[in-house]
Amino acid sequence: DTDEARSTADSEAAILEGLKWCGITWDEGPDCGGNCGPYRQSERIQAGIYQEQLDKMVAKGDAYKCFLTPQELDAMRAEAERNEQAFIVQSPWTNAKKDEIQAMMDKGVPHVYRFRVPFDREIVVDDLVLGEVTWNSDDLGGDFVIVRQSGTPMYNFGVVVDDAQMAISHVFRAQEHLMNTPRQVLIYESLGFEAPKFGHMPLILAPDRSKLSKRHGAVSVGEYKSRGFLPAGMVNYLAQLGWNDGTKQEIYSIDELIGAFKFERMSKVAAIFDADKFKWVNGHHVRLLSEEQAVDLVGSQLKKSDMVKEASGEFVRRASVLLKERISTLVEASEELKSMMAFDLEAMLKSEVAQPYFEV
């Protein structure tokens, strides 16, 4: 929660609520406590957790203060481009003397902390999705920042400390985080922590294979809930983006997904988000609702849209049972009910079928 612009109490609550709505629960965390707290990075900063680990790295010589300015870094980057070379940070502060560092500190010059990347070191990770992945430390772009000028930890440093101290055994994340892995492995080794097992899953792309954004339907879990999607429908659809069990089955309960899931069946290529397919899957789960569930969910939607005064009674029961067979999302219930109840009396009276029943 160190990104003050995006991390608020409301955004945290929305994330936790979205996970709970999907049926994902946890044994410990910011909302229920536990043995590995505090759980917010801002609170962990105040507790000195990252500073303690940073001090260890500095003492070992694996991290150092760097006073390079943004302008100096820009000049180094421009020089590399002119020479048609990859930009590699080569900080003059990597081997600075104590008195030089102290002089800068006395002047109050802002600084960051960089991790000292070893030269020509092979880093190998046995990824649970991608298999064996190898990097050379010389390709990591040089010494990287682990603590900002503000004193807040950068992602690669903070997540290593958090995961290690919280005994995280497996880390599953998108493939766009793959290049963070060698840097994190180096930090794990520096701090003497055992690295977890990593699995980098395929990205979810838009139909045009661009990065998924709000215009393609990438919204919060809470918004999908408000659009009338069911937790079972969402979990079913998302689980099959980049995975299948080798059969033609497409509709699963959550328990069936848990029983069928194996990492060996994870795809290595990006999946495409298809909004129509999502609605189709959700529609199947709507039809799988019991009568009691249909009355509760569909009836509540009808009341919300002022179609009925109360989400109960014989009319609501019958309407809900009929509607769940005809809709893909709960919000479609009101319009579908209007369509079912629409009756053009005037047209019927003028029809040939009705004429024999009128007196001349």
Q: Rounded to an integer, what distance in angstroms lies between the CA atom of residue 307 and that of residue 292?
A: 19
pLDDT the model gives residue 342: 81
Domain ranges of the chain: 36-201, 214-341
CATH topology of domain 214-341: Glutamyl-tRNA Synthetase; domain 2 (1.10.1160)
Task: Report the distance separating Cα 233 and Cα 239, nearest Å.
Answer: 10
What predicted TM-score, i.e. pTM, was given to this entire model? Answer: 0.88
Alpha-carbon gap, residue 358 to 343, rounded angstroms:
20
Total Cβ atoms within 10 A of residue 94:
15
User: What is 36-201's CATH topology?
Assistant: Rossmann fold (3.40.50)
Six-digit token string for 34: 């536990």
What string of pLDDT tens digits covers the 360 residues of the chain? 767 667 788 889 999 999 999 999 999 999 999 999 999 999 999 999 999 999 999 999 999 999 999 999 999 999 999 999 999 999 999 999 999 999 999 999 999 999 999 999 999 999 999 999 999 999 999 999 999 999 999 999 999 999 999 999 999 999 999 999 999 999 999 999 999 999 999 999 989 898 887 777 667 899 999 999 999 999 999 999 989 999 999 999 999 999 999 988 999 999 999 999 999 999 999 999 999 999 999 999 999 999 999 999 999 999 999 999 999 999 999 999 998 888 776 777 788 887 787 765
Q: Which two tokens stand for residue 159?
A: 């997540």
- Active-site residues, by number, are 214
Q: Within 13 Å of residue 295, how many CA atoms lie on the same side as its CB? A: 12
Could you tell me the CA-to-CA distances from 340 to 162, 326, 336 in Å, in that order? 55, 10, 6
For 313-345, the pLDDT digits (tens) are 999 999 999 999 999 999 999 999 998 888 776
